[in-house]
Amino acid sequence: MLSVWRNLKNSRRVICGAVRPGCSSPAGVSALWSKQTPSAGSDFDLRRPCINPSRKCSGRPYNVPPSAEFVARVSGIPTMAKLPYQETAEGLDAAFVGVPIDTGTSNRPGARFGPRQIRVESALLRAYNSGTRAAPYESLMVADIGDVNVNVYDLKDTCKRIREAYRKILATGCIPLTMGGDHTIAYPILQAVAERHGPVGLVHVDAHADTSDVVLGEKIGHGTPFRRCVEEGLLDCKRVVQIGLRGTGYSPDAYEWSRAQGFRVVQAEECWFKSLAPLMAEVRHQMGSGPVYLSFDIDALDPGFAPGTGTPEIAGLTPIQGVEIIRGCRGLNLVGCDLVEVSPPYDTTGNTALTGANLLFEMMCVLPKTKYY
Ligand SMILES: [Mn+2]
């Protein structure tokens, strides 16, 4: 036992040795390190050991999560991607923010626990995107800014709180990467987004159109956000695409209303057995250079892959297609993204949240300022 402790102590010292003076860890002890660390690209060399992801302590130009090569994944307080937590979006290019509600769900609850489980599962994420060679932590200042303080007893008050929180986030110039929470949250978020950017284009990935008018007498819920957005002029309707829609409907053409607004509707059947890369080339053309918001409901994916959600529909998209959609957003003027409807109680394996965490990482990798190798 004692020797285990000694070994741990030694490895801690080695790790701390790379931390710059001014932080609480001792400086020096660099000899062992210099043997292991490539000299090239010092500030950007994310292989350098670092236990503190904050820029101030690591000495790097941007926040960088500690690598699991040196810091155990299971250690620490779970923030998104093991990034530092800060209270406001001040100084950030992008921020992960949780909106833990399920008061707007119509069926299975549990999405209020989504942000927490996504954060826990995100400990598996590494710094680089091997598929696209994106290096988000070499060009973006990113942190986890915690959760919006919602009112779990009052959905309308929650919407107000979300709108106000996002006004503040957006006022700093930061791009929010939101972890839901049920899809109701897209409505107040888009109110704040449109206030800053004007009517935006929308890439909406979902099993459902979420354009109902009234459900059980209520205008606000997870089935109505995009109807409210259209009514309030928050969307540039010619620059809206809904991808993955499917399932039983209340009428033979459930998506008539969407099409009547000018939305492009890509039903799941059109996606079956296909790469969605060609579709995304068309979507990029549709979106042009104007501001775009990306809203990704995890139920767009087939429940075989993502069972932890409130209103699952069979015969959905694959995770590969989900990734293709997000990667296909590279080059767009993205001003905000969300990943919603992860309901941990319906997937005790954590895989739905893990998928959500990876999709959020992919979103960060297509933000306008992200560096690519
Ligand atoms: Mn939805």
Q: Do both 34 and 88 map to the same domain?
A: no
Q: Would you say residue 73 lies in a domain?
A: no
Q: Do both 42 and 167 map to the same domain?
A: no
Q: Is 41 left (phi over 0), alpha (psi -120 to 50) or beta?
A: left
Q: Do both 115 and 155 map to the same domain?
A: yes
Q: Would you say residue 72 lies in a domain?
A: no
Q: d(Cα 180, Cα 92) in Å, to the nearest integer?
A: 20
Q: How far is the CA of 185 from the centre of ligand 1 (A)?
A: 10
Q: d(Cα 288, Cα 334) in Å, to the nearest integer?
A: 11
Tokens describing residue 46: 């994310």
Which residue, among 81, 32, 12, has the nearest Cα to 361 in the 3D structure? 81
Q: d(Cα 45, Cα 47) in Å, to the nearest integer?
A: 5
Q: How far is the CA of 152 from the centre of ligand 1 (A)?
A: 19
* HEC profile of 75-105: CCCCCHHHCCECCCCCCCCEEEEEECCCCCC
Q: Do both 44 and 86 map to the same domain?
A: no
Beta bridge pairs of residue 135:
371
Which residue, among 342, 322, 371, has the nearest Cα to 129 in the 3D structure? 371
Instruction: Print the domain residue range for 51.
Output: 2-58
Tokens describing residue 310: 């409130």
Q: How far is the CA of 226 from the centre of ligand 1 (A)?
A: 9
Q: Would you say residue 66 lies in a domain?
A: no
Q: Do both 244 and 121 map to the same domain?
A: yes
Q: How far is the CA of 21 from the centre of ligand 1 (A)?
A: 48
Q: Would you say residue 71 lies in a domain?
A: no
Give the pTM.
Answer: 0.88
Other Cβ atoms less than 10 A from the Cβ of 210: the count is: 26
Q: How far is the CA of 11 from the centre of ligand 1 (A)?
A: 46
Q: What is the domain count for the chain? A: 2
Q: Would you say residue 367 lies in a domain?
A: yes
Q: Do both 24 and 173 map to the same domain?
A: no
Q: How far is the CA of 314 from the centre of ligand 1 (A)?
A: 15
Q: How far is the CA of 296 from the centre of ligand 1 (A)?
A: 8
Residue at a domain's end among 58, 91, 106: 58
pLDDT in tens, the chain (373 residues): 334 333 443 333 333 333 333 333 333 333 223 333 334 555 566 666 666 666 656 678 999 999 999 999 999 999 999 999 999 999 999 999 999 999 999 999 999 999 999 999 999 999 999 999 999 999 999 999 999 999 999 999 999 999 999 999 999 999 999 999 999 999 999 999 999 999 999 999 999 999 999 999 999 999 999 999 999 999 999 999 999 999 999 999 999 999 999 999 999 999 999 999 999 999 999 999 999 999 999 999 999 999 999 999 999 999 999 999 999 999 999 999 999 999 999 999 999 999 999 999 999 999 999 999 9
Q: Do both 24 and 87 map to the same domain?
A: no
Tokens describing residue 276: 């969605």
Q: Which amino acid is at 155?
A: L
227, 211 in Cβ contact below 8 A?
Answer: yes
